[in-house]
Structure 1
Amino acid sequence: MVIGGALTQIDWRWTFFLPVAIAAGTLAAAVRHVPHDSPRTAATASTPRAPSR
């Protein structure tokens, strides 16, 4: 809230730009750090897995 008030002192348009910049940075970090799933074949997709303990 304080940051939003400070941004309105600079220019009110920054209050709309800042969440876009944060979302873009979050998306870029997620693409880089979240591992990809391995492709599943029809045989492994239909085979139930044993419960892990």
Structure 2
Amino acid sequence: KKESMKSTQKIGATLFLIMGFMVMIGSMALIIADWIHNAGSSEEHADGH
């Protein structure tokens, strides 16, 4: 029973780690995309829209 509990915790930790990486990569991609969009159209739209 102890072995199965350890494996369950390992699976949970791995899933948590993967979820964290996905969130990090997703937010990074959104920030970079927004930054590129703002950098490309900052001169045309000075009001920030």
> For the superposition of Structure 1 and Structure 2, which TM-score range results when normalised by the shorter chain?
0.3 to 0.5
Q: Larger radius of gyration, structure 1 or 2?
A: 1
TM-score by length of 2: 0.46
TM-score by length of 1: 0.43
Higher RCO (CA-CA < 8 Å; seq separation 6+): 1
